[in-house]
Amino acid sequence: MNLLEVKGASKAFGGIQALSDCSVSLEKGKINGLIGPNGSGKTTLFNVVTGYEKVDAGEIIFNGKPITNASPDQVFALGIGRTFQLTRIFPRLTVIENMHVAAQRSGLSGLLARWSQSHEQKRAIELLDYVGITRLKDTPAGNLSYGQKKLLEFAFILIADPQVILLDEPAGGVNPTMINLLASRIRGLNELGITFLVVEHNMEFVMTLCDRVTVMHRGTKIAEGPPAEVRRNPAVLEAYLGD
Amino acid sequence: MTKLLNPAGLLVLLAGAIAFPFVINDPTYTTIAIFALLFAAAASGWNIFSGYTGYIALGHAAYFGVGGYALAIMCQRWHIQGGYTPFYLVPVCGLIAAAFAVPLGAVALRTRRHTFVVITVASFFILQLLSYNLRGLTNGSSGIDFPLILQWGPDFYNLPFYYAALILTLVALATSWFIRNSKFGLGLLAIRDDEDRAQGLGVKTGASKLIAFVISAFFVGMAGAVLNYFIGNVQPTFTFDSLFDVAVELMVFMGGIGSLSGPILGALVIESADQYTALQFSFGPGLHLLVYGSLFLVVILFLPQGIVPSIKGQWARYQASRSNDQPLPSANGTGPGSPAMGVTASREEAKA
């Protein structure tokens, strides 16, 4: 069953066609990879799915319901979390405050509750433990190292219990030990039922981690299938090596 | 980390503030205190929006003016006698200012950064212009006088105003504290750091910004009502004071923008100094503007974060160095445990 489906999405920025009639589907419970050369539209696809950009044409369906052009907070509330290629955390808030931002609640009493005494506090600490940065919880997040910021961004998405997590280059600029930690965390969460879509240039990471890989080129899908199959696909080789 | 101000210290401060007009029962000084406290309330209210969200609003003088005019017009229309009754109407004036802030804020908040600043300034001038021209309501440039308070003698006159200002400041401070510790306030601080990211994590950014804007207008409006009642009249030039925002912003920046006590401290220091110098040395008109300008530059140069965050930073460093100097605590030691444990941990890591 497909949890998330993008049907014929198109998006142009001025004269640049970032997405052209792009259809991608995400199988529930799988770790899906998304690869493609620079400028092939991967990040734009993330942006239209998560509400940061509006599509010019096409449809986005999540759990059988259309979410085309919903706002980012609505998309997040439905259960789609994402990270950014250039990590986006809240630098002047402490690590633990960063965790609570993502644990927003609706309703007046929820909004007026003191965050430090909310029931999410325990969960926030658990998640920081999970990625190994609990000892930094009272540090302003801006003081963290690049890799620690990536771990924090990953952890605060989890606090909202998303069904799908979109990761934009999680292994970019991160040392091998941390890449292994990240991969094991992704696998662990996947076993708990979270579906992933991972954009990554590190081929080894993608090929060993993902169950299925989608390849994009010039704003559209050119191949899809298990990693080993995609690797041998002539269209993929051509896209990467030039035509 | 040991806190700089503990509950006992705060109680002493509060007791001092309550006792102040009895200890120093000189109208010169209680007048200064009234002005300082009203600006503290306004600065604290301004900080709830601009300090927490990072959107610098430069048109809150509009709500200060609306609050003052609302009280004057109500007193005039309903033939209210001078005395305590107008004080009871101060929250109503705050609500009226807040009602003005809903549409004006909604328009301004469609923009960000510089454009937002310009639109808030424009909204102030629109309201000032209205106060000149809606003569039937505002009596044009001659303004409206508040009813005289004949029954209060010179020794007593300042007391009700002082306590009204003190209550207003405390309520503003409490609201600010409450918001700072709530999920709503955390959302505002997230907006300050990265608004789009905050929205992507479920923060209702549009509604949050507008609510914070309206709350800040509510407090500024109430401060405007009390201050104008104290002065005794409303006039377009003084009630809608184009320098109000410069003053409030200077106070907040000096004390520490986005902090809880910073706006209060900044307002108490600057407004007291301003009033005192104006009384003691009769500078020529406009000279205090030079003082504002140079103070602003000094603050930006030497205390870019403001007094409170700078002192907090120094205090944290002092605490850290003190706990580093101490020998490792014994098993029953009462010294600060966690920093010392951090030291042992790092030493062990170094060995490993």
Q: What is the pLDDT of residues B201-211, one digit of tens each?
A: 888 889 999 99
Mean pLDDT of chain B: 82
Six-digit token string for B144: 């409206």
> Do residue B183 and residue A100 have CB atoms under 8 angstroms apart?
yes
Structure-model confidence comparison of residues A44 and A242, the more confident one: A44
Query: Is A103 within 8 Å of chain B by CB?
Result: yes
CB distance from B183 to chain A under 8 Å? yes
Rounded to an integer, the average pLDDT of B219-238 is 92
Mean of pLDDT values over B69-76: 91
Check residue B265 and give its pLDDT: 87
User: H/E element holding A61?
Assistant: strand A57-62
User: What's the pLDDT at B327?
Assistant: 45
| Residues B333, B339, B344, B347, CA torsion sign | negative
Chain A contacts in chain B segment 191-220 (CB below 8 A): 192-194, 196-205
pLDDT of residue B323: 64
**What average pLDDT is seen over chain A?**
84
pTM of the model: 0.84
pLDDT at site B5: 63
Q: What pLDDT is stored for residue A242 in this prediction?
A: 65
Contact call for A90 and B184, based on CB within 8 A:
no
C-alpha to C-alpha distances, A50 to A108, B57, B191, nearest whole angstrom: 26, 30, 18
Say if CB A18 and CB A29 are below 8 A apart: no
Angstrom distance (rounded) from CA A122 to CA B346: 26
Nearest alpha carbon to residue A9 among A64, A66, A54 = A54
Q: Which of B169, B60, B65, B189 is nearest to B119 (CA)?
A: B60
For residue A52, which residues of chain B lie inside 8 Å, CB to CB?
A: 196, 200
Q: Can you read off the two tokens belonging to residue B114?
A: 């510089």
pLDDT in tens, A188-225: 888 888 899 999 888 888 888 888 888 888 888 888 88
Please list every residue in chain A whose beta carbon sits closer than 8 Å to the beta carbon of residue B343.
Answer: none
Name the residue among A94, A115, A95, A96 with its Cα closest to residue A104.
A115
Tokens for A111? Answer: 């909004």
Average pLDDT of the residues in A137-153: 86
Least confident range from A133-137, B247-251, B290-294: namely B290-294
Name the more confident of B48 and B344. Answer: B48
Q: Is A167 helix (H, G, I), strand (E, B) or coil?
A: strand
Note whether A82 contacts B: Cβ–Cβ < 8 A.
Answer: yes
* B contact test, residue of A73, A76, A89 with most B CBs within 10 A: A73
Query: Residue A234 pLDDT more than 60?
Result: yes
Cβ-defined contact of B194 to A88 (cutoff 8 Å): yes
| Residues 6 or more apart whose Cβ sits within 8 Å of residue B45 | B172, B175, B176, B215, B216, B217, B218, B219, B220, B223
Measured distance CA(B94)–CA(B116) in Å, rounded: 23
Question: A78 touching B, CB under 8 A?
Answer: no
A60-69, B190-199, B333-342: segment of lowest average pLDDT: B333-342
Q: Above 80 in pLDDT, residue B161?
A: yes
Chain A neighbors of B196, CB-CB under 8 A? 52, 72
Interface with B, mutate which of A111, A114, A154, A156 (most B CBs under 10 A): A111
- A68: pLDDT confidence band, cut at 50, 70 and 90? confident
User: What is the rounded CA–CA span in Å between residue A243 and residue B110?
Assistant: 46
